[in-house]
Structure formats: C-alpha cells, structure tokens
Homo-oligomer: A and B are copies of this chain.
Amino acid sequence: MASAYAAVDGARLSSILSKLPEVGAKLGGQPAEWRVREVGDGNLNLVFIVEGPAGGVVVKQALPYVRLVGESWPLPLERSWFEYNALVEHARYAPRLTPKIFHFDREQAMIVMEYLSSHLIMRKGLIRGVEYPRFAADIAEFLAETLFNTSVLAGSAAEHKRRVELFARNIELCRITEDLVFTDPYREAPLNRWTRPHLDADKRAFEKDSALKIAAQARKYQFLTAAQALIHGDLHTGSIMLNESDTRVIDPEFAFVGPIGFDVGAVIGNLYLAYCAQEGHESSPGARDPYRQWILDQIAAVWTGFHDRFLALWRKAKQGEAYVAGLVASPQDEAAMEAERARFMRKLFEESLAFGGLKMIRRILGLAHVEDLESIADPAKRAVCERKALAIGRELVLGGAAFSGIADANAAAKAARA
C-alpha cells in the first residue's frame, strides 16, 4: 500500500480494507457486502463507517486541506502520523479510554480503528441533556494517566526528548491553535465569525481589552514553550465519545509536547460552554436547572479527579527524572516535596482555567464554533448564551489567581449566568 496518497471513496476503501486480514475478519462476509458511509462532521478529515455482516470499523483519512475552509487552506497529511503516534501513547497509558487501532497507513494518511457504534459524541449528549455517570471519572483518569506518564515526572529525560523531537514536526496543526485560540479572536481576522449584529459590540470590546489580550498572548507563549507532556491538543467534548458505561477519547491529531493545562482546560472550558448553552436548549426557563448543576458538578469532578490522580501517580513515581525520588529521604524532605507538589498543582489549576477560558472565547468570536451554541436557532437567544460564556471565559483567563479552588470557578460561572 505504498501507493501515492488519494482521498478514498467507498469502493476504493472496501478494496483497501479487503487486503487487511484483521479488518476483513472484523467486518465478515465479502467486500461487496460492506456498507461504507462518510460521516465526517469535523473540520479537517474524511471519516467513514464501514459495516459488514460481522461488525464495523471506522476509517479516518486526512484531507490535504482544512475541510471547514476548503482547498485554499492546505494542511499536511502528515498530521495523521502524529495522531497515530498519540493514539499509541494513549493506548499505553489509558487503554480502556482509547479506541483500538487496527491499521495505519502513513502514505494514505489513514487510520483504521474501532467502530464505537454505541457511543455518542459527548457534545451531542450535552445538547440533549444526557447525564453520563462515567464521564468525569473517566476523563479525569485519561487526563492524569496520559499527561503524567508522558512527562519527566514519570519517565526519563531521554524518552521525553524523543517525544519532543517527534511531535515538534506537527507544526501546522499547532499553528492552527496558535492563531485561532490565542490571537485571531482578539483582532480583526478574515475568518472570525460571531453572532451578528448582537455580539458586534462584545467583539469590539474584546479587541480593545488590553488585559485580556496580553493574558492570551502570555498563554500563547506558554503553549509555544512549555514542553511538559504529550498533550492531546484538542480535547473538547467533540473529541470524547461515550455512553453510560464506556468513554473514549478520539482525534489527537493536534498532539504535541505542550502545557498540561491546555488539555485540562479544554475539557473544563467546553463544559462551561455547554453550561451556558443549556438556556438555548431547555423546553422552558429553568427546565435544565438540574442538568446545569450536573455540568458544574462534572467540572468540579474532572478537576478534582484529575488533581487527585495526578498527585497519586506522582507520589508513587520512582522513575521520573525531574524530582528524583531518591532525593526525598526524610520526613522534612517529604514535607518540602509535598509543598512543591501543591505549588505545581496550584499553578496547573490557574493555567487550566486560563486555557479553558481562552478556548471558550475562541468558540464564540473566532473561526470554529461549537454545536452547543450553533444549534440554538434564534440568534438573539444564542447571543445571550454566548455573552455569558464570554464573561465566564474572560473571568477564567484573568481571575483564576483569585479562586481558592474549582468551587470558586463554578461560583463565578453561576454569577455570570445570573
């Protein structure tokens, strides 16, 4: 299959898959019986569901341009290689929470993976008001396990440098985040979109908000220079598929070695977006009050669960080349180390909130929006939700240092909504 890249269609895909014994067995029957559907609703790729008599697989193929924008915005196929490598790392540290990979073809920028037929994209569940009992614990586990274990708190400097080296080539996808999250929402950029004319004044105010935009750039500097762990890089609620009993994190094509708080913040920020969007989805005012509270509870549970598990991993780590375990010998050493861990986690808390706030703002004033809000048909109603989300986002970026913990962030969100 070392043929030149070509975007596949159904017939050619069946032919490709028929040459992969493991996939053929999974699907069952003959290639002619396989049903192929293109279901990609993301911004970048082709996604096919292929079903045969025995089962299904998902095939994700990168396109050489940004699907959301068109061929005018080329994007390297190589991102598929980074996604594959990140999936392999995720499978190592969070196997239960990562889709199984059956095949990877670097030339075709194609990943063949598990079809999660009973799972829903979490963002869609949040719009419908579905409570997922496993969500917070599973995502906290995913965050803690993948971020801790791909850091120098867990492993050697040499393996970290190899990780840094490999993912440093994921330049173009990082550039999308750099521009769309940290910069474009705060200036006039051709691709920015917002609910007009309702948010025109808000957009202008954000462009003039000196404290906010400099804070956004300080976080951009951190995004560009803090090589802490292999981060997913796009861990919003559209990258989470789940049901009542099972959770998976998909689509890590933005992966690189970056700041831990970026992933944690992505989850938190997108939950606050969902929180603000409920007003546009409830059948009558207040009908979603319990669900709103459920979302806030999940935010607290994700942070607390991540925090506790990350710390627990750190306390028992023996191989990390930062904070060498052998140096911590006496009770005094242990106390100093615990104080240092607390300082580290506190900093991470503020960073996570700030990244989360920036990810909220960019979904309202920048290019790529979220279905939570876009699906609110009435623009006036949508703008009301969005304005509250902007206020929460701004508070998370600038106010985190004043929060004693995640409950304060939730209180600020409640206050902004009221």
> A residues engaging B (CB < 8 A)?
151-153, 157-158, 160-162, 164-165, 168-169, 171, 174-175, 178, 183, 186-187, 208, 210-211, 213-214, 217-218, 220-221, 224-228, 321-324, 326-328, 330, 332-333, 335-337, 339-340
Contacts and interface: CB of A to CB of B under 8 A. Distances in A.
29 contacts: A151-B225, A152-B221, A153-B221, A157-B171, A157-B174, A157-B175, A158-B171, A161-B171, A161-B174, A164-B165, A164-B168, A164-B227, A168-B168, A178-B321, A187-B326, A210-B332, A210-B333, A213-B327, A213-B336, A214-B323, A214-B327, A214-B328, A217-B322, A217-B323, A218-B323, A220-B323, A220-B324, A225-B226, A227-B227
Nearest to A169: B165
Given A164-B227, A187-B326, A210-B330, 5 more contacts: A161-B174, A165-B168, A214-B337, A218-B323, A224-B321
B175 A158 contact: yes
Given A321-B178, A321-B224, A327-B186, A161 B152 contact: no
Nearest to A324: B183
Contacts of A169: 161, 165
A413 to B, nearest CB: 25
Given A164-B164, A165-B168, A214 B157 contact: no
Given A168-B162, A174-B161, A225-B152, A330 B220 contact: no
